[in-house]
Amino acid sequence: MFIQSKLPNVGTTIFTVMSSLAVKHNAINLGQGFPDFPMNERLTALVNQSMKQGQNQYVHMCGLPTLRERLSEKVNTSYHCQINPDTEITVTPGGTYAIYTAFTTILQPADEVILFEPAYDSYIPNIEINGAIAVPISLEYPDYSIDWQKVKDRVTKKTKAIIINSPHNPTGVVLTENDINELREIVKGTEIFIISDEVYEHLIFDQKEHLSILRYPDLFERTFVCFSFGKVYHCTGWKLGYCIAPEKLMKEFRKVHQFNCFTCNSPMQHAIASFIEDKDQYLSLGNFLQQKRDYFQNLMKETPFRPLPSHGSYFQLYSYEGLNELSENEFAIQLTEQAGVATIPVSAFYKKPVDNKVLRFCFAKKEATLEVAVNRLVEFFK
């Protein structure tokens, strides 16, 4: 039997490829973005408690009401935005799912979506599986800033949406007030939607401020804002997130959601609804991860890699320009096989690979893990 593929140009993701290669060669995996340190014991105890108390059956399709109420309080405190927990928040199985559902809610065949590369690898497949057309715009190397004139030049009558991501994966760049103002001018008076990927909202460094779209009423009225519990509470394997959008948008989002996932893991939602009241757990996250970034940067000074600025996320980009003529993909494989350290080639985050000689490292690891990894890199370059 023949299946006409809806994603004929898509293979296995680079994250799966590099993680499998890391296992094969017993390499330290600094490629895929997940912590190797334990999550908070109180949160796991709350999950256990929820299970023992019988909270194991379906919760509301939109998410546990108590959790949505707490999220509404959280965004009001964080971003001074009044959100209706009944009509404007939906709990989802991860941030990536929320992004996919937002695209599926709004896109029709031949619509165009502007995105910025390097981009999280799900964006383009999400667009194309809905019959729409991805319009990639490259961020300006080496600071990975947005050239907003290029965005204006690519807007057409077919432009249905613009997706933004801050703090940005894979670069760690964060949006500025100027970026917000430029975006505001572009969408003003149009029917263009915004999808805002804010899964790293609290992983922000150097006294930078996260400029959530929730802060800007004129932008929020056209936006699906997507978040992740996994990134905040070091539990990426739980695959829990949520989407916030105005009621008229969320109504359509839920139509797609209810026939796909319907509802999400119940004990975890009960546990997070209690745990989220401890505000310090997410407010201290930036300092916690910045210490890991700084520790990793200090270790990496012993290698010939050149760091590029990272002000958020789990990730730090490093340039190897002038060290090796191999492509990013080839060098990433060589480091995995010969140095025993797995990374991600940044070229994998482009539709048409761009070879700037840059690799992405995940520093959300135990200090001992980072030390062993960097020692292996030092030995490799001797």
Using DSSP bridges, classify how beta strands 358-362 and 133-138 pair: parallel, antiparallel or unpaired.
unpaired
How far apart (Å, rounded) are the C-alpha atoms in residues 374 and 292?
A: 13
pLDDT of 32 reads 87
pLDDT of 12 reads 82
Task: Give the confidence band of 16 by pLDDT, cuts at 50, 70, 90.
Answer: confident
Per-residue pLDDT tens over the stretch 271-326 = 999 999 999 999 999 999 999 999 999 999 999 999 999 999 999 999 999 999 99
Domain range for residue 24? 14-39+283-381
Q: Note whether 270 and 337 are same-domain residues.
A: no
**DSSP count for the chain of H helices, then E strands:** 15, 13
Instruction: Quote the tokens at residue 354.
Output: 């761009």
Lowest mean pLDDT among 6-10, 239-243, 364-368: 6-10
Determine what percent of the chain is predicted with pLDDT higher than 90. 96
Q: Note whether 95 and 217 are same-domain residues.
A: yes
Question: Per-residue pLDDT averaged across 242-260, rounded?
Answer: 98
- The verdict on residue 217 lying in a domain is yes
CB 175 within 8 A of CB 213: no
Name 291's Cβ contacts closer than 8 Å, sequence gap at least 6.
none
- The verdict on residue 35 lying in a domain is yes
Task: Give the confidence band of 59 by pLDDT, cuts at 50, 70, 90.
Answer: very high
Q: Note whether 158 and 204 are same-domain residues.
A: yes
Of 232, 262, 277, the position where a domain reaches its end is 277
Strands (E), the chain: 28-29, 89-92, 112-117, 133-138, 159-165, 193-197, 223-228, 241-244, 306-307, 315-319, 341-342, 344-345, 358-362
Q: Which residues of 285-310 are buried (b: 16+ CB within 10 A; e: fewer)?
A: bbeebbebbebbeebbeebebbebeb
Q: Note whether 102 and 232 are same-domain residues.
A: yes
Confidence check: pLDDT of 10 > 90:
no
- The verdict on residue 246 lying in a domain is yes
The CATH number of the domain where 82 resides is what?
3.40.640.10
Q: Note whether 25 and 70 are same-domain residues.
A: no
- The verdict on residue 6 lying in a domain is no
Confidence check: pLDDT of 144 > 90:
yes
CB 246 within 8 A of CB 214: no
The CATH number of the domain where 315 resides is what?
3.90.1150.10
Q: Note whether 303 and 365 are same-domain residues.
A: yes
Question: Per-residue pLDDT averaged across 148-175, rounded?
Answer: 98
Q: Note whether 345 and 273 are same-domain residues.
A: no
Q: Note whether 140 and 250 are same-domain residues.
A: yes
Q: Note whether 316 and 199 are same-domain residues.
A: no
Of 277, 292, 321, the position where a domain reaches its end is 277
Place of tokens 């757990």: 281
Q: Note whether 228 and 348 are same-domain residues.
A: no
pLDDT of 353 reads 82
Name 241's Cβ contacts closer than 8 Å, sequence gap at least 6.
91, 92, 93, 94, 95, 96, 97, 98, 199, 226, 227, 228, 229, 230
How far apart (Å, rounded) are the C-alpha atoms in residues 219 and 188?
A: 9
pTM: 0.96
Question: Per-residue pLDDT averaged across 9-32, rounded?
Answer: 90
Residue 340: CB atoms within 10 A of its CB come to 19
Q: Note whether 223 and 331 are same-domain residues.
A: no
Confidence check: pLDDT of 341 > 90:
yes
How far apart (Å, rounded) are the C-alpha atoms in residues 251 and 88?
A: 8
Using DSSP bridges, classify how beta strands 241-244 and 223-228 pair: parallel, antiparallel or unpaired.
antiparallel
- The verdict on residue 75 lying in a domain is yes
Confidence check: pLDDT of 117 > 90:
yes
Q: Note whether 114 and 229 are same-domain residues.
A: yes
Would you give the distance in Å from CA 258 to the centre of its chain?
Answer: 23
What is the domain count for the chain?
2
Question: Per-residue pLDDT averaged across 150-168, rounded?
Answer: 98
In angstroms, what CA-CA distances link 222 with 80, 184, 190?
A: 18, 11, 10
